[in-house]
A and B are shown apart, each in its own frame.
Chain A
Amino acid sequence: MEQNNSLLTVKDLVKHFDISGGLLDQLALESGRIVRKKTTVKAVNDVSFTIMPQETLGVVGESGCGKSTLARAVLGLYPPNSGEIHYQDQRIDNLNPKQMLPFRKKMQMIFQDPYASLNPRMTVKKILEEPVYFHNKAINAQAAEDKVAEVMRQVGVDPAWSGRYPHEFSGGQRQRISIARALMVDPEFIVADEPVSALDVSIQAQILNLLMEAREKRGLTYMFITHDLSVVKHISTRVAVMYLGTICELAPTQTLYAQPGHPYTRALLSAIPELGVQKPKHLKLKGEVPTPINLPSGCVFHGRCIYANDRCTQEIPRLMRLESGAYVACHGVEEKRI
């Protein structure tokens, strides 16, 4: 896991949210005494991974498992509670906004909802110009305009429309504009937070192709967050599977789909519907995803895992390298009983 030429390294990242509200909301009565109770959502717990230059790391998991929180923490939108984030060899999680500026140019984000990610009061031209002017104060108006036109053409939106407002575009076009905004500063690394899940299936393919094309042309590195397993198979070089704020498996795409290691990954992959299969062999999980407010002890998956034993309920498994090149956090796999 330790590779020095990695683009992004995340070490033991923890992000908890305090949702206990004001002082009055925190007070609770416990066995006759008033106590102050804090409620925290443990969104991301001890997550470590690296992203190599020009690879696409897919992050999958069901809703509420901390994918988006992880993405925002990586970009410094949420300051992590503990852990380290390194970009190349520079630690970036403890920088102030000013020190962070050079990295803002290298890391960009594409958002899920194309209807919320563009400011409705700004024209497309203004939206796209903003990052250019912000990171290059000396640029003249003509150069900025040319840059806007060039990037708009690259993402397949006619530059003649740059004077229009976002509501005049369709969802797919808006997502293209959103991608254009991310590309305006010529970034190296893009975090895409479910960039296609709000779009029609027919548009999804176009946007995915656009993203892959941009990767080839610009040598981009993606962290691609999604809950769609077919999308992730299509676009990723490696896949991280998240469950309840932890990574349970991290493997090259082919390996993961061919021989999933972690019981959760197996159940997840078995849920992909296949054409022509009469009796699908779904691995049905019992119970529901526990709340991230009260995390289960030990392995977070133990309550739903058919292979769980005493060790799973007590000891938190760490990611461990298998012979196939996959990393799996599971005691059962480690003990070779699964």
Chain B
Amino acid sequence: MKSWNRFKNSYLLYSFKRDPVAILSFCVLSILVIISILAPVITPYNTYDSATFDIMDAETPPAWMEGGSKSFLLGTDIQGRDLLSTMIYGLRVSLLIGVGAVLFQALVGILVGLLSGYLGGKLDALLMRIADIQFSIPYLIVAIFTSAIFKLAFGVGRYAELAVPLLIIIIGMSEWPKYARTVRASVLGEKNKEYVEAARVIGISRWHIMYRHVLPNTLTPVLVISTIQVAEAVMSEAALSFLGLGMPITKPSLGSLIRAGFEYIFSGSWWITFFPGALLVIFILVILLLGDWLRDVLNPKLYKG
């Protein structure tokens, strides 16, 4: 109750209420997130169950077009799945991978950044060089290698099952240095402040100081880059899926839907690619707009140019 009151009076909420772009983005994002979480409840068809769709319905155009059917609002894809339901399930997969990858990145990156910045010395040099190396390897190459090895080792069937955690790790591994560098930079700024020395004078151990005193003061920039990182992870996943390295078509993400429809775009079935593509753009756009707003609020030193 007390923290709610604090939130109610906070500058964060105040500036949110005054920014129509932020409000709109937040509403759209909330709707998309809620829809994707509730996908099994609200979608008309369960697209993961092959008994519910018929190949004879394949490539039905959207309902308002000639030849469209009332039971498929946005038409169907090449396997006869209702496109709207498939997109919602796809959004769910994209969101899961995006958030999962960011959590993974944040966990590894914050830990490395904190240790590196606070303890310094040789450990700092070692960890930061590892981060540099990680940064210099394009995630596409890592993804191609990993998925190729994985498919060879476990077979394509197992791959479909384990694609989500695998993609989370691949995308997460390629981006953790961003967190590590951000956290390290703010830890370096914080660790020489007098409140850290005060804690040392009390006798508190350095692990405890790191966790209780330094970490909470370094999380503001982490929050800001997290929003952008979610958008980037979703885009990375879409790109990987588009290249056929991501989610299999039986459990499509937005990226794999775009890829599946792409082959039919010139035969007239544009909707299979267009609608998932538009949803992806809207989803990423609102996240980035919210991230922009958050950065402006939390870092008043930056002004809109």
Contact = CB atoms under 8 A, between A and B. Distances in A.
Nearest to B125: A22
Contacts of A304: none
Contact of A134 (B125, B197, B202, B213): B202
Contacts of B201: 75, 77, 104, 107-109
Contacts of A5: none
Contact of B194 (A104, A107, A117): A117
Contact of B203 (A118, A121, A134, A163): A134
B202 A130 contact: yes
Interface string A291-309: 0000000000000000000
Given A97-B203, A134-B202, A72 B195 contact: no
Contacts of B205: 97
Contact of B204 (A112, A120, A130, A181): A130
A317 interface: no
B216 interface: yes
Interface string B197-216: 11111111100000001001
B226 interface: no
Given A109-B197, A111-B194, A119 B217 contact: yes
A239 B143 CA distance: 68
Given A97-B203, A97-B205, A130-B204, A109 B198 contact: yes
A138 interface: no
Contacts, number: 57
A131 interface: yes
Given A97-B205, A134-B202, A135-B203, A119 B197 contact: no
B95 to A, nearest CB: 30
Contacts of B2: 163
Interface in A72-94: 72, 75, 77
B18 interface: no
B193 interface: yes
Contact of B216 (A97, A105, A107, A121): A121
A283 interface: no
Interface residues of B, number: 17
Interface in A224-251: none
A95 to B, nearest CB: 11
B195 A100 contact: no
A104 B217 contact: no
Contacts of B200: 77
A109 B199 CA distance: 10
Interface in B64-123: none
Given A111-B198, A121-B217, A116 B193 contact: yes
Interface residues of A, number: 29
A120 B217 contact: yes
B213 A119 contact: yes
A104 B203 contact: yes
A186 interface: no
Nearest to B206: A97
A113 interface: yes
B170 to A, nearest CB: 33
Contacts of B194: 111-113, 116-117
Contacts of A178: 198
Nearest to A120: B217
Contacts of B193: 116-117
A101 interface: yes
A72 B202 CA distance: 13
Contacts of A113: 194
B198 A117 contact: yes
Contacts of A22: 125
A185 interface: yes
Contacts of B198: 109, 111, 117-118, 178, 181
A130 B213 CA distance: 11
A188 B204 CA distance: 19
Nearest to A113: B194
Contacts of A101: 203
Nearest to A166: B195
Contacts of A104: 201-203
A130 B205 CA distance: 13
Contacts of A119: 195, 199, 213, 216-217
A77 B255 CA distance: 54
Interface string B177-192: 0000000000000000
B202 A100 contact: no
B47 to A, nearest CB: 46
Contacts of A135: 202-203
A36 B217 CA distance: 38
A112 B216 CA distance: 23
Contacts of A130: 199, 202, 204
A107 to B, nearest CB: 7
A134 B204 contact: yes
B219 to A, nearest CB: 9
A104 B213 CA distance: 18
11 contacts: A22-B125, A77-B197, A97-B203, A97-B205, A109-B197, A109-B201, A118-B195, A118-B198, A121-B217, A135-B203, A163-B2
Shortest beta-carbon contacts, A-B, top 9: A104-B203, A117-B194, A111-B194, A121-B216, A119-B195, A116-B194, A131-B202, A116-B193, A109-B201
